[in-house]
């Protein structure tokens, strides 16, 4: 991970000062806004006031007047109207909005959506069912249709008129129909990023005016679920939609889903993570119509039943995703395609889950990933990427052997025959290898602000005015650079950490693996998001940690804690008699190792040996514990390998000679000595004297590091302390305590015995 700090020259600093003064906000808030392009007080205050909304006229959208006239004609003539949507959240919300608006307008329209197995958009099979059962005069598409040239011609030949409302990019050839889209070139409408439901809402506004605002909750949900940028009109839509939900004036279906999800707060983020997955789960499990029916039914009982069904679908989807994810990781370990891109397939995988798992693998491994399943004799894949790598371009490089493909830089879909799968995987890997350097895979974060003063409640509340958050308006990321912090689990047995720095109190959910390095004085870069917590009516600012990285610095506590783990390694099952490689050979291996690659773990037993190598600072640093995921190349300093999952690594390179080598992974061991235990004695008299000395020191200091620092022979003290803890004479729980009345023999200590044998 690379952290790039923003820098501002004197002129820009003056503009930030002026912005803060004229907008009446903190300078820190002004700096974040300036960095996001809000460089005047007018722009900043407008951004922080999304409740003030001057709507764009729907009739400035190209095709809107013609669409309204055709719908009026359908009303006057009593025609049969069908609204045809899509199986995802955006499509279902868009369908619901327009069906309800048409009802208010005086038309009882039929709602139709395909299932995922029918494919996206106007499916000929679904259309034939519609034609056979409903005999429509007019079909209005929402969130689809812009590419349906052949299907529209088919419908027109049968005398069915078409209105297409869509928000996707235009293909080279568009259907011969009335088209209402934000992507039409040269139109007056000033905003092009509406969701499918957003376009549906605009058509509703043209038909029933401000009454369409009653459906902004659904438009807001669709906007965040479809990852539309929360800028401009989308920001206003989502703000007002969320307000409808907060005030209890939203769709009854949405209320039911929120209750079922247990959502505690209502925001764009919570909608995206609680409600949207339940709706999408129906489509992914092959029953999208149940989600649509939930939003259209007037029956309370049916709404409860459908909500429960979507909940079950979501639980099943989560379970199946876990199975698919585990299966994919096992394939990686047993020879799956794994170079500069992860490419895997299994005929039994469910196509609707591939995108979710692909995104998860990309996040974990830092590589683009493409997962395939089989449908109708072909392999259908879903691709995800991150960093600078365009997975779409990589897929397009093999276009001559593909059945079809589409998407964009970070997400794409692709279909290939089974016989061409291996060639496709190799060509995509070759393209990425040839066109992207190693830094392209590296996650880069540019913090919005570097914290150098106490994080105030006012600052947190001003950041809260940046809501709603989402694509195009991410929660500000704040960087705290610290050396000494305090960290502890939120409660006994918790995987969540409470972290306190001189300037901010933080919570790191599931951050327990970061506890050992946080307890050292290694330099820490903590990236967090702002939050306001309330307890017993009292508000206080809080930071939610997103990630932590470490920078090496020589310090006694890291060396002492590394010494502890070196001694503990004596008790793990490993190879005590191992061959050592010359320092020059190991340095050659390290120099050839790509810091941004995968599969190799560098291990340094003694941190004092860090400067024996030239380029270790370019590797992800993991003091005392492995904090990276996905087998990414990293440098582990002073870790206890017996407690670390090494299954993602093909090779370990020990940069100095440990007391023990972990079996089961290919290893190279450097002959460079780590810790010098030549001055450690196992003599019982020496150990007795050491116990009395440690017992006396504990009266004044209960800290392991301080006690060992005080010793004239730190290796002896470290060794003795570990033996006494193992035998129960001393208890350690973040501090050291003498345990009275314990009797035990030194020979019962595994560490003592292993050391004596060596």
Please, which residues bridge with residue 449 across strands? 478
Asked whether residue 136 is assigned to any structural domain, the reply reads: yes
CA dihedral 398, 401, 402, 406 (to 10 degrees): 30
Read off the pLDDT band of 337 (50, 70, 90). low
More confident call, 262 vs 289 = 289
Between CA 479 and CA 485, with CA 482 as vertex, the angle to 5 degrees is 120
HEC string of 268-335?
HHHHHHHHHHHHHHHHHCCCHHHHHHHHHCCCHHHHHHHHHHHHHHHHHHHHHHHHHHHHHHHHHHCC
In the predicted structure, residue 93 carries a pLDDT above the cut 80: yes
Buried b (16+ CB within 10 A) or exposed e, 97-123: bbbbbbeebebebebbbbbbebbbbbb
DSSP per position, 227-283: T---SHHHHHHHHHHHHHHHTT-S-HHHHHHHHHHT--S-SHHHIIIIIHHHHHHHH
Look at residue 294 in the predicted model and tell me its pLDDT: 97
Q: Which of 518-527, 593-602, 693-702 is the most confident on average?
A: 518-527
> Residue range 10-37: average pLDDT?
97
In the predicted structure, residue 241 carries a pLDDT above the cut 70: yes
CATH number of residue 23's parent domain: 2.40.50.460
Pick from 639, 669, 699: which residue ends a domain?
669
First to last CA, the chain: 41
Read off the pLDDT band of 361 (50, 70, 90). very high
Buried b (16+ CB within 10 A) or exposed e, 62-76: bbbeebbebbeebee
Which CA distances in Å does 314 have to 110, 127, 384? 27, 28, 22
Look at residue 335 in the predicted model and tell me its pLDDT: 65
Q: Are residues 238 and 169 in the same domain?
A: yes
More confident call, 650 vs 82 = 82
Q: Are residues 724 and 577 in the same domain?
A: no
Read off the pLDDT band of 56 (50, 70, 90). very high
Look at residue 613 in the predicted model and tell me its pLDDT: 95
Half-sphere exposure of residue 412: CA atoms within 13 angstroms, side-chain side: 22
> Residue range 571-589: average pLDDT?
85
Read off the pLDDT band of 758 (50, 70, 90). low
> Residue range 507-521: average pLDDT?
93
Ramachandran assignment for 605, one of left (phi > 0), alpha (psi -120 to 50 degrees), beta (any other):
alpha
Asked whether residue 639 is assigned to any structural domain, the reply reads: yes
Q: Are residues 460 and 490 in the same domain?
A: yes
Q: Are residues 148 and 238 in the same domain?
A: yes
Q: Which range has the worst mean pLDDT, 98-102, 160-164, 172-176? A: 172-176
Half-sphere exposure of residue 446: CA atoms within 13 angstroms, side-chain side: 7
pLDDT tens per residue across span 201-222: 999 999 999 999 999 999 999 9
> Residue range 322-340: average pLDDT?
81
Pick from 623, 646, 669: which residue ends a domain?
669
Q: What percent of the chain has a predicted confidence (pLDDT) above 70?
A: 99
HEC string of 526-578?
EEEEEEEEEECCEEEEEEEEEEEEEECCCCHHHHHHHHHHHHHHHHCCEECCC
In the predicted structure, residue 443 carries a pLDDT above the cut 80: no
Q: Are residues 94 and 229 in the same domain?
A: yes
In the predicted structure, residue 116 carries a pLDDT above the cut 90: no
Q: Are residues 126 and 240 in the same domain?
A: yes
Q: Are residues 466 and 562 in the same domain?
A: no
Q: Are residues 512 and 588 in the same domain?
A: no
CA dist., res. 55 & res. 478, Å (int): 33
Look at residue 101 in the predicted model and tell me its pLDDT: 98
CA dist., res. 338 & res. 326, Å (int): 16
Phi, psi of 413, deg, nearest 5: -120, 150
Read off the pLDDT band of 409 (50, 70, 90). confident
Q: Using an 8 Å Cβ cutoff, are 38 and 482 in contact?
A: no
Nearby residues of 684 by Cβ (< 8 Å), 6 or more positions away: 746
Asked whether residue 53 is assigned to any structural domain, the reply reads: no
In the predicted structure, residue 499 carries a pLDDT above the cut 80: yes
> Residue range 136-141: average pLDDT?
96
Q: What percent of the chain has a predicted confidence (pLDDT) above 90?
A: 69
Average pLDDT, the chain: 91
Read off the pLDDT band of 163 (50, 70, 90). very high
In the predicted structure, residue 610 carries a pLDDT above the cut 90: yes
In the predicted structure, residue 438 carries a pLDDT above the cut 90: no
Ramachandran assignment for 409, one of left (phi > 0), alpha (psi -120 to 50 degrees), beta (any other):
alpha
CATH number of residue 279's parent domain: 3.90.1640.30
CATH number of residue 363's parent domain: 3.10.310.30
Q: Which range has the worst mean pLDDT, 15-24, 332-341, 689-698? A: 332-341
Asked whether residue 142 is assigned to any structural domain, the reply reads: yes
Asked whether residue 144 is assigned to any structural domain, the reply reads: yes
Question: Taken in order 473, 202, 211, 276, is the CA torsion positive or negative?
Answer: negative
Q: Which range has the worst mean pLDDT, 434-438, 446-450, 552-556, 585-589? A: 552-556
Pick from 669, 700, 726: which residue ends a domain?
669
Look at residue 663 in the predicted model and tell me its pLDDT: 80
Read off the pLDDT band of 480 (50, 70, 90). very high
Asked whether residue 260 is assigned to any structural domain, the reply reads: yes
Other beta carbons less than 10 A from residue 577's beta carbon:
5
Look at residue 308 in the predicted model and tell me its pLDDT: 96
Asked whether residue 330 is assigned to any structural domain, the reply reads: no
DSSP state of 598: B
Closest CA to 621 of 515, 550, 518: 550
Q: Are residues 350 and 396 in the same domain?
A: yes
Read off the pLDDT band of 38 (50, 70, 90). very high
CA dihedral 187, 188, 191, 196 (to 10 degrees): -50
Look at residue 265 in the predicted model and tell me its pLDDT: 84
DSSP per position, 117-178: GG-SSS-HHHHHHHHHHH--SEEEEES--TT-HHHHHHHHHTT-EEEEEE-SPP-SS--SSE
pLDDT tens per residue across span 366-405: 889 999 999 888 999 999 988 788 998 999 999 999 998 8
Nearby residues of 653 by Cβ (< 8 Å), 6 or more positions away: 586, 589, 590, 593, 600, 601, 602, 603, 667, 668, 670
In the predicted structure, residue 235 carries a pLDDT above the cut 60: yes
CA dist., res. 96 & res. 736, Å (int): 64
Strands 730-732, 736-738: pairing kind? antiparallel
- Distance from CA of residue 565 to its chain's centroid? 32
Look at residue 42 in the predicted model and tell me its pLDDT: 95
For the chain, the domain total comes to 5
Strands 402-407, 411-416: pairing kind? antiparallel
CA dist., res. 242 & res. 254, Å (int): 11
Q: Using an 8 Å Cβ cutoff, are 657 and 578 in contact?
A: no
> Residue range 251-263: average pLDDT?
92
Q: Are residues 289 and 408 in the same domain?
A: no
Asked whether residue 350 is assigned to any structural domain, the reply reads: yes
Q: Are residues 435 and 452 in the same domain?
A: no
Structure token digits, residue 402: 């593909």
Q: Are residues 369 and 451 in the same domain?
A: no
CA dist., res. 239 & res. 253, Å (int): 19
What range defines the domain where residue 355 resides? Answer: 335-442
Look at residue 536 in the predicted model and tell me its pLDDT: 81
More confident call, 265 vs 621 = 621
In the predicted structure, residue 44 carries a pLDDT above the cut 80: yes
Strand order in the sheet with 378-384: 337-338, 342-345, 369-375, 378-384, 411-416, 402-407
> Residue range 154-163: average pLDDT?
95
Look at residue 460 in the predicted model and tell me its pLDDT: 97
- Distance from CA of residue 100 to its chain's centroid? 35
């Amino acid at each position: 991970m690379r952290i790039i700090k923003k820098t501002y020259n004197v002129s820009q600093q003056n503009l930030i000062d002026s912005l803060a003064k004229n907008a009446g906000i903190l300078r820190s808030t002004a700096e974040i806004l300036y960095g996001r392009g809000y460089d005047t007080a007018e722009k900043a205050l407008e951004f922080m006031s999304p409740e003030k909304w001057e709507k764009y006229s729907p009739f400035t959208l190209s095709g809107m007047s013609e669409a309204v006239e055709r719908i009026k004609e359908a009303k006057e003539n009593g025609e049969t109207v069908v609204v045809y949507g899509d199986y995802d959240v955006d499509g279902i919300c868009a369908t619901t909005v327009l069906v309800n608006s048409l009802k208010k307008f005086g038309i009882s329209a039929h709602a139709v959506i395909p299932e995922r197995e029918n494919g996206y958009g106007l499916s000929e099979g679904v259309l034939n069912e519609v034609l056979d059962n409903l005999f429509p005069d007019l079909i209005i598409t929402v969130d689809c249709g812009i590419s349906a040239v052949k299907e529209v011609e088919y419908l027109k030949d049968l005398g069915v008129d078409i209105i297409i409302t869509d928000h996707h990019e235009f293909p080279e050839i568009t259907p011969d129909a009335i088209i209402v889209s934000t992507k039409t070139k040269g139109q007056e409408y000033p905003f092009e990023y509406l969701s499918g439901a957003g376009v549906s809402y605009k058509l509703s506004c043209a038909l029933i005016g401000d009454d369409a605002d009653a459906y902004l909750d659904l438009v807001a949900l669709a906007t965040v679920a479809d990852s539309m940028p929360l800028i401009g009109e989308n920001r206003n839509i989502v703000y007002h939609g969320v307000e409808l939900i907060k005030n209890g004036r939203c769709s009854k279906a949405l209320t039911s889903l929120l209750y079922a999800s247990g959502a505690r707060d209502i925001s764009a983020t919570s909608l995206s993570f609680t409600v949207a997955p339940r709706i999408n789960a129906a489509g992914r499990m092959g029953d999208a119509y149940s989600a649509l029916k939930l939003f259209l039914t007037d029956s309370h009982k049916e709404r409860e039943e459908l909500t429960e069904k979507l909940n079950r679908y979501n639980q099943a989807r989560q379970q199946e995703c876990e199975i698919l994810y585990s299966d994919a990781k096992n394939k990686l370990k047993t020879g799956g395609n794994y170079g500069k891109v992860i490419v895997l397939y299994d005929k039994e995988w469910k196509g609707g889950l591939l995108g979710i798992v692909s995104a998860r693998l990309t996040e974990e491994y830092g590589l683009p990933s493409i997962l395939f399943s089989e449908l109708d004799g072909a392999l259908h894949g879903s691709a995800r990427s991150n960093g600078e790598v365009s997975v779409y371009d990589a897929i397009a490089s093999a276009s001559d052997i593909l059945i079809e493909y589409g998407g964009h830089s970070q997400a794409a879909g692709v279909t290939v025959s089974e016989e061409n799968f291996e060639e496709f995987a190799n060509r995509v890997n070759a393209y990425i290898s040839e066109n992207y350097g190693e830094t392209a895979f590296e996650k880069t974060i540019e913090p919005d602000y570097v914290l150098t003063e106490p994080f105030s409640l006012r600052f947190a509340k001003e950041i809260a005015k940046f809501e709603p958050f989402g694509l195009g308006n991410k929660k500000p990321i704040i960087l705290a650079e610290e050396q000494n912090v305090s960290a502890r689990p939120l409660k006994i047995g918790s995987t969540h950490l409470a972290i306190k720095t001189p300037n901010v109190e933080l919570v790191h959910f599931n951050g327990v693996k970061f506890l050992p390095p946080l307890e050292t004085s290694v330099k820490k870069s903590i990236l967090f998001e702002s939050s306001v917590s309330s307890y017993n009516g009292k508000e206080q600012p809080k930071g939610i940690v997103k990630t932590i990285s470490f920078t090496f610095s020589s310090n006694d506590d890291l060396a002492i804690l590394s010494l502890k783990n070196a001694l503990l390694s004596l008790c793990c099952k490993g190879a005590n008699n191992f061959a050592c490689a010359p320092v020059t050979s190991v340095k050659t291996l390290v120099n050839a190792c790509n810091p941004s690659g995968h599969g190799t773990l560098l291990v340094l037993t003694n941190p004092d040996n860090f400067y024996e190598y030239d380029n270790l600072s370019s590797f992800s640093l993991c003091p005392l514990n492995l904090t990276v995921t996905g087998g990414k190349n990293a440098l582990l300093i002073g870790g206890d390998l017996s407690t670390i999952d090494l299954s993602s690594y093909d090779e370990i390179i020990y940069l100095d000679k440990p007391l023990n080598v972990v079996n089961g992974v290919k290893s190279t061991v450097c002959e460079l000595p780590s810790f010098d235990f030549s001055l450690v004695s196992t003599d019982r008299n020496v150990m007795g004297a050491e116990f009395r000395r440690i017992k006396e020191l504990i009266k004044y200091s209960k800290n392991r590091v301080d006690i060992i620092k005080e010793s004239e022979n730190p290796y002896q003290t470290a060794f003795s302390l570990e033996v006494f803890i193992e035998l129960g004479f001393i208890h350690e729980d973040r501090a050291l305590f003498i345990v009275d009345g314990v009797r035990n023999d030194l020979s019962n200590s595994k560490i003592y015995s292993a050391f004596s044998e060596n």
